[in-house]
């Protein structure tokens, strides 16, 4: 599978501009032979909005912008994953969500960010309702691959990546808005997540700045062997390849999931040993 990671500067509050840019990026991704275009966290509106503007710009998962993204995907025969503020409960609640639309325009998944980063996330978005369980971390089949999602800060928690891995994920897609002073995520954590879980991690970040943050770029595809296909600091459409044969060879050489002693446990539960040790 071929991915296109859209590393762009945020257009804050400009849905029309972001949709127009998504059209151009989808066309470029199609020309490069990409199957899937991944765009950053809160791509539709920009990330640093504040509560009032986030609520004003939020749309339901099947809202007009979602329909336009679906039309763009179908027009260029490229699947699209993108971040947006999801309006829920009659518009009184809003979540930080990633939508996934396949290359025919069918909407296959909407994933809500679980781990909120700092005061801005907590001020802008409502808490995820109910207990956080494995059902909050779905894995879906697509074109012979198993896809999971995490949004930005989510991937910095090993439990989420491990939950997706034990659910069969081959690829974790991560729309993100990571700041320039947090390069350790791209340099250390992403290849670690890929290696320890024996899967690919695709990380699509912003670059440039808005009125609150400066973003670090360095979008990448981290492979299960630790290799990184890496973007720079500026705007770029990064093209990267997933290889099934390499994935299976790495899993045979590094059977971490088979050999682990502990299972992922729900929040608040004790970790339990998985004995006897498999051979």
State whether residue 131 is helix, strand or coil: coil
Taking alpha carbons only, the member of 98, 74, 95, 209 closest to residue 152 is 98
Tokens 């109910």 sit on residue: 130
pLDDT digits (tens, 9 = 90+) for 120-171: 999 999 988 888 888 899 999 999 999 999 999 999 999 999 999 999 999 9
Rounded CA gap, 221 and 204, in Å?
9
Whether 203 and 174 have beta carbons less than 8 Å apart is answered as yes
- pLDDT of res. 189: 98
Rounded CA gap, 265 and 75, in Å?
42
Task: Kindly list the structural domains of the chain, giving each domain's residue range(s) and its CATH number in brackets, ordered by start.
Answer: 2-259 (3.60.110.10)
Annotated catalytic, 75?
no
pLDDT digits (tens, 9 = 90+) for 237-261: 999 999 999 999 999 999 999 999 8
The burial of 85, by beta-carbon neighbours within 10 Å (0-12 exposed, 13-18 middle, 19 or more buried), is given as buried
The 3-state secondary structure of 11-77, one letter per residue: CCCCHHHHHHHHHHHHHHHHHCCCCEEECCCCCCCCCCCCHHHHHHHCECCCCHHHHHHHHHHHHHC
- pLDDT of res. 103: 98
Annotated catalytic, 152?
yes
pLDDT digits (tens, 9 = 90+) for 55-89: 999 999 999 999 999 999 999 999 999 999 999 97
Instruction: State the DSSP code for 7.
Output: E
pLDDT (average), residues 90-110? 95
> Which residue is catalytic, options 59, 86, 113, 137?
113
Output phi, psi for 260, to 5 deg. Answer: -65, 150
User: What does pLDDT average to over the chain?
Assistant: 93
Annotated catalytic, 235?
no
Rounded CA gap, 123 and 140, in Å?
30
Whether 40 and 202 have beta carbons less than 8 Å apart is answered as no
Q: Which residues fall within 8 angstroms of residue 143, CB to CB, at 6 or more apart?
A: 1, 35
Instruction: State the DSSP code for 6.
Output: E
What pTM was estimated for this model as a whole?
Answer: 0.93
- The two counts, helices (H) then strands (E), for the chain are 9, 12
> Which residue is catalytic, options 59, 86, 137, 152?
152
**Would you say residue 275 has pLDDT above 70?**
no
**Would you say residue 47 has pLDDT above 80?**
yes
């Amino acid at each position: 599978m071929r991915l296109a990671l859209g590393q762009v500067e945020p257009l804050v509050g400009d849905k029309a501009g972001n949709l127009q840019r998504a059209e151009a990026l989808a066309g470029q991704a199609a020309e490069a032979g990409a199957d899937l275009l991944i765009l950053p966290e809160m791509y539709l509106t920009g990330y640093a909005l504040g509560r009032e503007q986030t609520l004003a710009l939020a749309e339901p998962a099947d809202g007009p912008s979602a329909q336009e993204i679906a039309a763009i995907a179908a027009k260029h025969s490229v699947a699209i994953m993108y971040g947006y503020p999801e309006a829920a409960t009659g518009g009184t609640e809003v979540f930080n969500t990633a939508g996934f639309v396949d290359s025919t325009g069918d909407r296959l998944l909407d994933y809500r960010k679980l781990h909120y980063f700092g005061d801005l996330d907590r001020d802008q978005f409502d808490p995820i309702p109910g207990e956080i369980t494995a059902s909050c971390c779905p894995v879906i089949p697509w074109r012979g691959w198993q896809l999971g999602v995490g949004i930005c800060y989510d991937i910095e928690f090993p439990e989420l990546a491990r939950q997706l891995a034990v659910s069969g994920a081959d690829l974790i897609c991560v729309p993100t808005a990571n700041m320039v002073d947090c390069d350790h995520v791209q340099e250390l954590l992403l290849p670690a997540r890929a290696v320890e879980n024996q899967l690919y991690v695709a990380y699509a970040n912003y670059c440039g700045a808005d009125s609150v943050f400066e973003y670090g770029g360095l979008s990448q595809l981290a492979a299960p062997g630790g290799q990184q296909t890496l973007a720079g600091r500026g705007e770029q459409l990064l093209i990267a390849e997933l290889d099934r044969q390499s994935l299976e060879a790495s899993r045979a050489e590094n059977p971490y999931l088979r050999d682990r002693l502990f299972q992922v446990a729900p929040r608040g539960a004790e970790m339990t040993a998985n004995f006897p040790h498999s051979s």
